[in-house]
């Protein structure tokens, strides 16, 4: 960058700083920025990419010495980017050292974010499913935006659906969690930055523990357990959505009959023969209403001493 242009850029940055309410005196700002390259001559409020909105985010709070702005503002994250600043020809201007754009190796730009954000959940990032899939932090997060869509419960799922279209499809099924209404967010169950759960990037150490955060009444332990429920809720349920009530994988009695074929009614072949007949009462009580749960509602376990058959 030419000498004159460098000083012009710096003065422009100072001018913008003075125009903002409650700014530091010009000489303090200049002092703080003597080592800073000015990016805002070009990337100002008229830029079609809304870069300056970062000033309203936590990343720009200079009073917090941990923030990139308290360090060297833009270049803390984007790198010194000498070639980008010094280029004379806009049409062939090289990108900044880190532009967090598509086409850039995720691992490299992610290291910038991890410099500060590697505690808590992000401790598990390296080696996690998203990291090994080369997902960049900037794939989900909008650092420059006042409102990061993925951090807002109302819009978070839309970000996740961008890659997880099969989950989007499942959430369109009639029996589902209230994700569309903003009452359940993907991050209520999942830790996308990595987790202790193994498969599924769940918020807790196991799938069942994750479910118990909202469904603690199912935790027990119970006197009469139902083994698949004790072990894994997803043995019977599809939490992203189902065409069956209670988000079951299949409907009763046939779901239950995949594991229970005792003599008499548990092993009976159910079909349209169980529908109501011409007279009343008629019909198979294992099919109509709530099928097996017409008598055996305690499918998650029973603590009643006489409840061994899950009837009480």
Residue with Cβ nearer another protein (3 or 92): 92
Check binding of 49 to another protein (CB under 8 A). Answer: yes
Closest CA to 42 of 79, 92, 5, 2: 5
Six-digit token string for 272: 């349209």
Structural element, H or E, at residue 31: helix 26-32
Residues 134 and 107: their CA atoms lie apart, in Å, by 7
Residues 6 or more apart from 81 whose CB is under 8 A from it? 37, 75, 96, 97
Which of 1, 155, 187, 188 is close enough to bind another protein by CB under 8 A? 155
Q: Is the previous residue joined to 204 through a cis bond, with omega within 30 degrees of 0?
A: no
Residues 199 and 100: their CA atoms lie apart, in Å, by 28
Q: What is the largest CA-CA distance in the chain?
A: 97
Check binding of 180 to another protein (CB under 8 A). Answer: yes
**Ranges within 86-145 binding another protein (CB under 8 A):** 90, 93, 95-96, 99-103, 105, 107-108, 118-120, 123-124, 126-127, 131-134, 136, 138-145
Residue with Cβ nearer another protein (3 or 287): 287
Q: Is 202 helix (H, G, I), strand (E, B) or coil?
A: strand
Which of 52, 72, 187, 237 is close enough to bind another protein by CB under 8 A? 52
Six-digit token string for 14: 């100072």
Check binding of 31 to another protein (CB under 8 A). Answer: no
**Ranges within 206-225 binding another protein (CB under 8 A):** 206, 209, 212-213, 216-225
Check binding of 66 to another protein (CB under 8 A). Answer: yes
Residues 51 and 77: their CA atoms lie apart, in Å, by 13
Residues 95 and 104: their CA atoms lie apart, in Å, by 10
Residue with Cβ nearer another protein (83 or 308): 308
Check binding of 30 to another protein (CB under 8 A). Answer: no
Taking the CA atoms of residue 274, residue 280, residue 281 and residue 284 in that order, the dihedral angle to the nearest 10 degrees is 10
From the CB of 224, what's the least distance to another protein, in Å? 6
Which of 45, 80, 83, 86 is close enough to bind another protein by CB under 8 A? 45
- Strand pairing partners for 190? 202
Which of 37, 191, 192, 298 is close enough to bind another protein by CB under 8 A? 298
**Ranges within 70-89 binding another protein (CB under 8 A):** none
From the CB of 92, what's the least distance to another protein, in Å? 11
The pattern of x and - marking residues 250 through 279 that bind another protein according to CB under 8 A reads xx--x--xxxxxxxx--xxxxxxx-xx---
From the CB of 3, what's the least distance to another protein, in Å? 19
From the CB of 86, what's the least distance to another protein, in Å? 14
Which of 62, 76, 82, 151 is close enough to bind another protein by CB under 8 A? 62
- Check if the beta carbon of residue 237 is closer than 8 Å to that of residue 249: yes
């Amino acid at each position: 960058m030419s000498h004159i242009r460098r000083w012009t850029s710096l003065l422009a940055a100072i001018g913008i700083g003075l125009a903002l309410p409650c700014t530091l005196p010009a000489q303090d700002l200049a002092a703080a920025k003597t080592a800073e390259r000015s990016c805002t001559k070009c990337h100002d409020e008229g830029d079609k990419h809304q870069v300056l909105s970062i000033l309203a985010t936590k990343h720009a709070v200079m009073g917090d010495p941990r923030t990139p702005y308290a360090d060297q503002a833009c270049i803390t994250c984007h790198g010194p980017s000498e070639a980008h600043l010094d280029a004379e020809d806009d049409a062939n201007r090289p990108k900044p050292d880190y532009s967090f754009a598509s086409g850039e190796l995720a691992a490299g730009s992610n290291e910038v974010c991890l410099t500060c954000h590697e505690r808590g959940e992000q401790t598990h990032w390296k080696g996690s499913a998203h990291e090994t899939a080369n997902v960049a932090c900037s794939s989900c997060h909008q650092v420059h935006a006042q409102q990061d869509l993925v951090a807002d419960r109302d819009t978070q799922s839309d970000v996740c659906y961008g890659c997880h279209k099969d989950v989007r499809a499942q959430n369109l099924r009639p029996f589902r969690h209230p994700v569309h209404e903003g009452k359940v967010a993907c991050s209520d169950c999942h830790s996308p930055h990595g987790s202790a759960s193994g498969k599924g990037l769940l918020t807790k150490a196991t799938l069942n523990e994750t479910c118990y955060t909202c469904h603690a009444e199912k935790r027990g332990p119970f006197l009469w357990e139902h083994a698949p429920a004790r072990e894994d809720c997803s043995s019977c349920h599809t939490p992203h959505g189902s065409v069956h009530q209670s988000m079951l994988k299949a409907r009763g009695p046939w779901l239950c009959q995949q594991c229970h074929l005792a003599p008499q009614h548990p092993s009976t072949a159910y079909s349209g023969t169980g529908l109501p007949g011409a007279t009343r009462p008629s019909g198979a009580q294992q099919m109509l209403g709530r099928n097996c749960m017409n008598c055996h509602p305690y499918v998650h376990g029973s603590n009643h001493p006489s409840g061994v058959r899950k009837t009480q």
